Amino acid sequence: MIGKGIRKTDSEALLSGKPVYTDDLIFHKDVLTIKLLRSPYAFAKIKNINVDIAKKVPGVVDIYTYKDVPQTRYSECGESLPEASPYDRLILEEVVRYVGDEVAIIVAEDEKAAEKAKKLIKVEYEVFEPLLDPEKSENSRIRIHEDNSIISPFDFGYDNTRNIVSQFNYGHGDVEEEFKDCEVIIERTYQTQAQSHCMMETLRAYSYLDERGRVTIISANQSVYHMRRQAARAIGLPISKVRVIKPRIGGGFGGKNVASQNLL
């Protein structure tokens, strides 16, 4: 096959506009739409949240806040099993830690009703000083995680009192001795610009209960086995009760290896 063109398996389907992406595979009628209310602050605590008026919008089925979801921490990263990343996420939490962090989940009969309800949710925040520089975060008086409910599966040096998610040392030989023999030593710090991946398909998911009572999730993610395990833990179901199906991914680049963004 070297030097020869190989036709992509799904090339004809893509060119002819056949259903290949998640949004094309919604075969059930009367599916509900989920929209998320997100935080406008980089670091804050929800002092009060009122969804009473928003729930009265015609077409709204329900609205969930941190008071209504399981309080089981899980890892968003899907890299290995056992997982190396700390279980530091909740579906919804009283504390928001970045602009865009999830505050409420709106479930409605259509997108229009969900968007209208989202604007009617009243949230009172206690705004904290955010940490915006990773080099200044270590040992800062500002603590990203105050509580001690986070699980760290491996001893990678996680320390919430110092804002350290993990740490390790690697070395070979005696660096200081080698420096003594160097004519010139240059020490500099380099930074790259922010990068945002652009996929052909946005982050989205479609789920339903199958004939066996399993939560079936169709989501263009990069690792169905990790997503399945994380979703089951987050919502409090046995892993046998969750099934994840991955259609064409439409680009990933690591951005579709994060559970909450793909499954909500």
pLDDT digits (tens, 9 = 90+) for 176-196: 999 999 999 999 988 888 887
- State the average pLDDT over residues 31-56: 97
- State the average pLDDT over residues 249-260: 78
- State the average pLDDT over residues 34-63: 98
CB neighbours of residue 30 within 10 Å: 6
Beta strand pairing status for 242-245 and 215-219?
parallel
Query: How far is residue 67's CA from residue 90's CA, in Å, rounded to a whole number?
Result: 11
Task: Give phi and psi for 234, each to the nearest 5.
Answer: -65, -40
Q: Tokens 């504390």 identify what position?
A: 95
Q: How confident is the model at residue 261 (pLDDT cuts 50, 70, 90)?
A: low
- pLDDT above 90 (res 45): yes
| Percent of all residues in the chain with a pLDDT value above 90, rounded to a whole number | 57
- pLDDT above 60 (res 262): no
Beta strand pairing status for 215-219 and 205-209?
antiparallel
Per-residue confidence (pLDDT) for residue 122, from 0 to 100: 98
82 near 156, Cβ under 8 Å?
no
User: For 260, how many CA atoms within 13 A lie in the half-sphere containing its CB?
Assistant: 19
Sign of the torsion formed by the C-alpha atoms of 25, 227, 102 and 30:
positive
Cβ burial of 254 (10 Å; 0-12, 13-18, 19+) is: exposed
Per-residue confidence (pLDDT) for residue 264, from 0 to 100: 57
- State the average pLDDT over residues 8-25: 85
Q: What pTM did the predictor assign? A: 0.87
Write the pLDDT tens digit of every residue in 104-131.
999 999 999 999 999 999 999 999 999 9
Cβ burial of 44 (10 Å; 0-12, 13-18, 19+) is: buried
23 near 102, Cβ under 8 Å?
no
Domain boundaries, the chain: 13-185+204-263
217 near 207, Cβ under 8 Å?
yes
CATH number for the region 13-185+204-263 comes to 3.90.1170.50
- State the average pLDDT over residues 138-167: 89
Query: How far is residue 213's CA from residue 217's CA, in Å, rounded to a whole number?
Result: 12
156 near 167, Cβ under 8 Å?
yes
Query: How far is residue 157's CA from residue 166's CA, in Å, rounded to a whole number?
Result: 5
- Read off the tokens for 249: 């991914």
> Which of 110-119, 142-151, 217-226: highest mean pLDDT?
110-119
Sign of the torsion formed by the C-alpha atoms of 99, 102, 103 and 105:
positive
Phi-psi group of 30: left, alpha or beta (phi > 0 → left; psi -120 to 50 → alpha; rest → beta): left
Give the chain's mean pLDDT.
90
Query: How far is residue 59's CA from residue 115's CA, in Å, rounded to a whole number?
Result: 11
Least confident of 29-33, 104-108, 145-149, 247-251: 247-251
| Percent of all residues in the chain with a pLDDT value above 70, rounded to a whole number | 98
Per-residue confidence (pLDDT) for residue 182, from 0 to 100: 96
Cis peptide, bond prior to residue 82, ω within 30 of zero = yes
Residue bearing the bigger pLDDT, 111 or 257: 111
Per-residue confidence (pLDDT) for residue 252, from 0 to 100: 81
Per-residue confidence (pLDDT) for residue 26, from 0 to 100: 87
